[in-house]
Structure 1
Amino acid sequence: MSIIGAGVVGLGVGWRLVQAGCAVDLFDAGTAGRGASWAAAGMLAAGVETEPGEEGLLALTRASQAMWPGFAEELRAVTGIDPDLREEGTLVLALTRDDLARLRANVAFQERLGIELRWLGARELREREPFLRPGIAGAVLSPHDHQVDNRALVTALVRAFTAAGGRLHEASPVEAVVIEGGRVTGVRAAERCLPADAVLLAAGAWSRRIQGIPPEALPPVRPIKGQMLALRMDPAAPLLRHVVWAPKVYLVPRRNGRLIVGATVEERGFDATLTAGGVLALLESAWRALPAIEELPIEEMWVGFRPGSPDDAPIIGPTPVAGLTVATGHHRNGILLAPITIEATARLVLTGERPPEIRPFGLERFARHGSRAPAMSEEASA
């Protein structure tokens, strides 16, 4: 078995397959776990991130969210690395009357779907987060939307995979999938052909760059650029304890004092440039909600590439090529959907049976609905 892409999904599926007795080679063009999985914020927000048009995705995100406590505990027990699942819940803020009208509409929509939300009064909000800007127009608590440290997560998955006997090939980009007679027979990497009876394509936004795959088997994914930054708080006296969504920004505090500020959403191909405008917009939006950040040092700034699909839902399942499976297109839900994607994909590879929870998210839905792969700019396809 060969897996292309050592992000959370590739590492997790590889770990499960090695546990089941499979020989697994896992290839990554760079360092394992340092792509979109490393760039993420680690929010597990099946509730507050649900938007109109995504009703069909909610069952999957909720199911995966429910798997997270057990998944995190298993990783901690196996590797000694704690992914730091935090369960304080998520706050959504409205800073102005216009924001409040939008928040009320969003809450009404989400509550119709059965998502539990609770309006907070000014006193309770101040008790929970005393450093938020005074006079906030409204706030909602989503008690079941949490966070995990995504960088600790990928570090744990690398250890779990390799300790179980998986073979990890870093700085080893797969150039092509080798297909003979309509089924995969191996991969070509570093100008060598390595035999494989099955291949999992889990290369995120880079999945369409792999050669040798016929157009009907290529997942229609594209990179969606996100600029992000991290500020440094005093871990003994943090400015923030909950994940906070404010207009045009989210804030994710870590126990070590790191405060994640994200993220832009840009259709720029694989442009990894940090821009003054992008960083300014994030900092200004964050400052409007949490003014005291102006005194915090900037610790890190980076760009990530979410793997977007035409309907913003993941692409998980078999392809028209025998032995070739895909698991990509998770957009902003890659960390949230990791447990269910890993378990369902591993089961599919091992048994040939597609679990019911991922059936609506197969590649065939785009052919059925007449969707085509997105046009790739020269920059994106270079």
Structure 2
Amino acid sequence: MTTDTTAPARQVEPAEHVWAAELDFLAAYDAGPRPTGWRLTPRAVVTFICGSDGEALAHPSAAKGAGKSAGASATPAELVIARKFVGDRDLVERCVVTLAGERGLLLVGEPGTAKSMLSELLSAAVSGDSTRVVQGTAGSTEEQLKYGWNYALLLAQGPSEQALVPSPVMAAMRAGAVARVEEITRCLPEVQDALVSVLSDRRISVPELSGERDGAVYAAPGFTVIATANLRDRGVSEMSAALKRRFNFETIGPIGSLAAEVSLVRDQAKAALARVDAPYAVDDAVLEVLVTAFRDLRNGRSVEGWDVERPSTVMSTAEAVSVTTSLALSVAYFPGGRDPLDLVPGHLIGVVRKDDPADADRLLAYWDGAVRKRAQEDAAAKSWRRLWELRDVLGG
């Protein structure tokens, strides 16, 4: 009898698995000083996240002309590091400096601005493990940030190290690694404040184990916390002043460049389609129109300077990726020569009506304003003319 040891397929792999080759390469490429417990140097962490600007970095052994050892045979002689976060490099450097000082880092911004992705990338590069994460919700409890118990062992043996169930935060403290807390402001204030002592005293008291040493778990060097919070969302709880003081805040804004956002949406949509073995068939003209519409509605102003009424929902880049993926799947699974552009209005109304049905009227006003003007005033605006012809899809 044989046992199948093949790991099951996963929809999404952690960043440290997806980019394992780059992380291994950068660990050897930059042998400079690094904080205690860090997998990469701070400079290499920034390179991992922001990329090498298309430059092929040479492996040190290749630069010295050294032969490859058997153990290093899989390491390439040179490698181009992909850009993974479309944002300000200075912002990433400030994040890395914060973590190097073992201070808490809070990434804030509107939904869909890649806060969670940046948090994951930082954790993967610094600790080699981005999975020590707590997802904040209104139902989160203090034990999810500190510790719980295996109640079967607790009843059988009483309080003991064996019966203790560490939270991801406690596990990171013991390992001297980065812990992540997603959407911290969705937790109730009394739950959030469980992090105050963690970030100030660098320990978690376990009164039930007071007979064993001092009954506390102490953070190893290198431990810190990255939290994320949405600025524009419902159901959030204000952070206490005490907790705010223990974080450095960095605001993640929307992508400034249309070309950069189009490129990111394309790449993310292709990656999503690759996971389901579906082809990508959305041409750049359609993609640019879609992303432009998202940016107009997000900013409340078109690129031409026309006023646009903003919907209450957040027209995020993540939503643009979702719509682009849906357009490509429609073409793949329902063939027949239908232009993906014809599907854009229906998908847009599905996005804007998530929070407030009245947003459908705001989308219609956008059609009667910016879309109509582009269709009538720009002779080369074929895609916008087609969108204007599809106005009836929106109703009204």
Q: Give the structure-1-normalised TM-score.
A: 0.26
Larger Rg: 2
- Structure with the largest fraction of strand: 1
Which structure has the highest helix share of the two? 2
